[in-house]
Structure 1
């Protein structure tokens, strides 16, 4: 009797990530890194944090799908009451209109898509600033954040268009533009369409020197962040990158803690891991 062929269903049993996970052009949002295997927890954590912060930063009611006053007036009193009750129930759901987790199929990296009025750069700065001021650890799984103002397809011409749009508020103000020292950081994940050097050269040319701007890799005023992922190139500009520990929330927390408190936290984390290990061994026995 011949050997039974193995089923294809079990071939990808241990494969955690799908081969898909592309980002569309014109996408805005925030990349975040986390420990391997904690992507799902990181996404949930960020959705909660981002939802709270955007309520503090923006008047979201102005940007919801507009229902004209005239349409409301046409409703009967009974229907208006039903609509008001329904709106109250959907308050939390409405936040999700501005934030959407995207499965990108990349280990240790998650992406939360944003839409207006949410500005990724502003949101990340707010979160980092609050972490510094509160000196409290508000995240468990999230490590580093990277804001992406806009994104395009991976061609030099599209990169030029992207740079013109993203860099203008920082480098090309119509009036009173001050000289800016800048640097460019390019990160590539599953991306080999364009060379890093070509991307940097193109962006530097778009910044220009007409306002006295200059490159300074160590003492820059602004850092241009470029995230290349598969068929997408995203760009954002960080104004307080070094001040906020390169937007690394874990490092912000550790820096703001005293040595005694930090040692205590690390000891608690170690003890917790040892207890979990002991519990697992006990169950096996």
Structure 2
């Protein structure tokens, strides 16, 4: 009798029964589920290329590189933007509560990263979403300029960086909206003189909008007051189309000097690459471009 009670008591504990732990494992999986970050219209960011098979290591390298430069260039800017200001005036209880709430929001905002990697289904290509105060073009330009001037190389797998001022849908309407936002400050601000420009589109996993369509639409958005110059441009318009999203930015005339923002080429120039770029520019001037969009984005004339 005592033994049967003991057996019942032992079985009732259930602490070591593996079947008892199964529901907990299921709940843990459910709790851990979340929506992966994606590229959305209105986002800003930076495309990057890397050595094949080194996407994970390159992501870690870029995260360290970007965060280091953000601290160097902006310092406590993020805190100043999001944080609550201190008033010297006397505050009552209600004002104190409001300030505490603002402080809580500020702490939450500071936890948000300035750089968020987004997984894309294409080898050797990465994307980092950015948020204020990061301005992608200025940010990438500074990194490449420092590299050209002899900054210590702190990465191994990173190749090209391509800043995107604004992302949008890869449609005619989406391209028009992005072009209006990105090109207006450069080409249409009051008092802006006539400028020379070139267009460089890159398409990846996208065949809906044709290359010539993209060029004509952007040239039309720039307007007749400016002229095309493939070699001595004042501004180069970069357009990256990936599946159903596109991005655009405007870079300066030192783009070629900075090796098209290719850090690997800045630190270890390749004569073959230089020859290829020269041949590409010659082909572009003749209107006979053979390389694919994804392999070698080209400088394109205004065909409107």
TM-score by shorter chain over 0.5: yes
**Aligned pair partner of 1:61 in 76, 79, 86:** 79
Q: Which runs of 5+ in 2 are unaligned?
A: 1-35, 271-304
Between 1 and 2, higher relative CO (CA 8 Å, sep ≥ 6) is seen in: 1
Matched residue count? 223
**Aligned pair partner of 1:149 in 144, 156, 165:** 165
Runs of 4+ in 1 over 4 A off after TM superposition: 66-73
Q: Distance in 1 between matches of 2:123 and 2:37?
A: 11
Q: What is aligned with 2:41?
A: 25
Q: Distance in 2 between matches of 1:249 and 1:46?
A: 12
Q: What is aligned with 2:268?
A: 254
Residues 182, 220 of structure 1: 8 Å contact kept? yes
TM-score (norm 1): 0.71
TM-score (norm 2): 0.66
**Cα distance, 1:217 vs. partner?**
1.7
- Are 1:237 and 2:255 counterparts? no
1:1-285 alignment runs, 5 A limit: 23-58=39-74, 59-64=77-82, 66-67=83-84, 74=96, 94=110, 96-175=112-191, 177-210=192-225, 213-239=226-252, 240-255=254-269
**Cα distance, 1:180 vs. partner?**
1.6
**Cα distance, 1:67 vs. partner?**
4.6
**Cα distance, 1:218 vs. partner?**
2.1
Q: Distance in 1 between matches of 2:228 and 2:111?
A: 39
The structure-2 alpha-carbon separation of the partners of 1:132 and 1:72, relative to structure 1 and needing over 3 Å to count, comes to farther
Q: Structure 1, residues 228-263: CA drift from partner, whole Å, max 9, x if none?
A: 00110100111121120100001111249xxxxxxx
**Cα distance, 1:201 vs. partner?**
0.3
Q: Distance in 2 between matches of 1:120 and 1:56?
A: 15
Q: What is aligned with 1:276?
A: none
Residues 99, 114 of structure 1: 8 Å contact kept? yes
The structure-2 alpha-carbon separation of the partners of 1:72 and 1:184, relative to structure 1 and needing over 3 Å to count, comes to farther
- SS of residue in 1 equivalent to 2:215: helix
**Cα distance, 1:56 vs. partner?**
2.5
Q: Which runs of 5+ in 1 are unaligned?
A: 1-19, 257-285
CA RMSD after TM alignment: 2.9
- SS of residue in 2 equivalent to 1:134: coil
- SS of residue in 2 equivalent to 1:147: strand
Q: Distance in 2 between matches of 1:29 and 1:39?
A: 17
**Cα distance, 1:105 vs. partner?**
2.2
